[in-house]
């Protein structure tokens, strides 16, 4: 059994904690059973394991999210990145192609496609197991999860089973209905319709045959290089609604999309997270603060206050669904990012009258991780090591570094750093242009001993 987790999103609705590279599924704001903070994608991966699903997981995502996934899930999880964003059908097709052409899975292998960020419970994953059983029993060429509705919602698509099959563990699908009016939604509920949970199961060969309608590739590298030949369309429209044989497996249980501050606040473990205080006169108010500066809330009601290096949000919870268009007015680089080696946070940036730029970052490298051997053409850097121990490579020479050490890295100089323990560095960049793309990487291996 193979699971493809879809990891997308632009990071607009949960601004300022989310940004262009840090989408909602990476925010560590939920509590695990052990009491530690975890993200939505970490939660789903944990639940897959707890449910006993014997599955190998592949993450389908964009290149900008690869390093955050590696940082949160480790290097053992398979990641397939899109060359460009083209909706869910191409993303799923590319991942299925990777399973067939690169990993060598058989055509009979059962594949489950699901989002990486539903807020749900163990029964959800037990339902995934029943979907796999339905595919293995040839109940249909495509099997969907149908979430039993709790209200006539206009936000979801609906799956309508064939008449007379209500109550069966596996029901044949008659038709699909996209986000209806409230009146139509009420009619659909009377027909026994389900919400479309966005979870699909099929044999790998079924998807390979669909891929070959568009691209005949000799290997995965060719398939990925021709990615733009896939139509830019959702999996629902391109596959589910065109399938000749579709079945739905019902799921009744907790199921939420924590995609707005209003919905996320309902699941936050505390009303105040980070450096803040909410007085007794506040009602239904939440603070999430990633800054060191304190936030004080006095006498406010139904408000979310969120602060990060990217900005500060003060929002009535009822208005949180409409904030995406407002956030799009801001144009700037992400001020916080997760990388495969750890995280960085921008502390400040300045453009001087003569066009010279400076930018200051706090880097945190996880023990055992390293920043690649690299050069910069447009900037120089000064690294001040403020905590931990590591190895610094500069123009081929490797030295041990720790608290109080300083390194001056000039333009064009080859450099890298490896954390022996958790390592923190203040990095000051200086140059005529300071962008993440100003980097050229080279192969390099740190010695075992220095």
pLDDT score for 327: 87
pLDDT in tens, 309-344: 999 999 999 999 888 888 888 877 889 999 999 999
Is residue 139 scored above 80 in pLDDT? Answer: yes
pLDDT score for 64: 86
Give percent of the chain above pLDDT 70.
Answer: 100
pLDDT score for 13: 87
Is residue 103 scored above 80 in pLDDT? Answer: yes
pLDDT score for 76: 86
pLDDT-wise least confident of 7-16, 98-107, 153-162, 346-355: 7-16
Give the span between the Cα atoms of 390 and 215, in whole angstroms.
Answer: 48
pLDDT score for 168: 83
Averaged pLDDT, 96-105: 97
Averaged pLDDT, 115-125: 93
pLDDT in tens, 341-362: 999 999 999 999 999 999 999 9
pLDDT score for 167: 76
Q: Report the mean per-residue pLDDT for the chain.
A: 94
pLDDT in tens, 176-207: 998 889 999 999 999 999 999 999 999 999 99
- Token code pair at residue 40: 């939505």
pLDDT in tens, 231-260: 999 999 999 999 999 999 999 999 998 989
Averaged pLDDT, 25-34: 94
């Amino acid at each position: 059994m193979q699971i493809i987790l879809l990891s997308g999103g632009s990071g607009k609705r949960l601004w300022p904690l989310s940004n262009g590279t840090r989408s909602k599924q990476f925010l560590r704001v939920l509590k695990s059973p052990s009491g530690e903070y975890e993200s939505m994608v970490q939660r789903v991966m944990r639940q897959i394991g707890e449910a006993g699903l014997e599955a190998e997981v592949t993450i389908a995502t964009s290149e900008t999210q690869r390093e955050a996934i590696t940082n949160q899930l480790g290097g053992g999880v398979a990641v397939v990145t899109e060359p460009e964003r083209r909706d869910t059908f191409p993303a799923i097709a590319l991942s299925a192609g990777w399973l067939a052409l690169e990993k060598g899975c058989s055509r009979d292998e059962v594949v489950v496609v699901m989002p990486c960020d539903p807020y749900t419970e163990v029964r959800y994953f037990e339902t995934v197991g029943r979907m796999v059983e339905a595919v293995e029993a040839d109940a249909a060429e495509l099997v969907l999860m149908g979430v039993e509705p709790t209200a006539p919602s206009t936000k979801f698509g609906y799956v309508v089973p064939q008449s007379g099959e209500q109550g069966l563990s596996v029901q044949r699908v008659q038709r699909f209905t996209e986000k209806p009016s409230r009146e139509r939604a009420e009619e659909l509920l009377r027909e026994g319709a389900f919400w479309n949970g966005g979870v699909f199961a099929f044999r790998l060969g079924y998807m390979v045959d669909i891929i070959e309608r568009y691209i005949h590739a000799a290997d995965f590298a060719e398939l990925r290089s021709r990615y733009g030949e896939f139509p830019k369309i959702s999996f629902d429209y391109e596959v589910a609604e065109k399938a000749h044989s579709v079945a739905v497996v019902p799921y009744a249980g907790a199921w939420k999309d924590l995609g707005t501050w209003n919905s996320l606040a309902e699941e936050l473990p505390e009303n105040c997270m980070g450096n803040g205080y909410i007085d007794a006169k506040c009602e239904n108010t939440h603070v999430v603060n990633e800054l060191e500066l304190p936030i004080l809330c006095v006498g406010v009601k139904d408000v979310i206050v969120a602060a990060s290096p990217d900005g500060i949000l003060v929002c009535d919870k009822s208005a949180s669904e409409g904030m995406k268009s407002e956030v799009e007015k801001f144009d700037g680089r992400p001020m916080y990012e997760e990388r495969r080696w750890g995280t960085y946070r921008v502390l400040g940036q300045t453009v001087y009258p003569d066009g010279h730029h400076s930018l200051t970052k706090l880097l945190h490298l996880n023990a055992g991780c390293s920043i690649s051997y690299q050069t910069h053409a447009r900037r120089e850097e000064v690294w001040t090591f403020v905590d931990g121990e590591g190895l610094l490579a500069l123009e081929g020479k490797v030295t041990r570094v720790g608290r109080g050490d300083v390194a001056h890295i000039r333009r064009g100089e080859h450099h890298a750093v490896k954390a022996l323990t958790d390592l923190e560095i203040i990095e000051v960049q200086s140059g005529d242009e300071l962008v993440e793309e100003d980097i050229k990487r080279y192969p390099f291996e740190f010695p075992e001993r220095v």
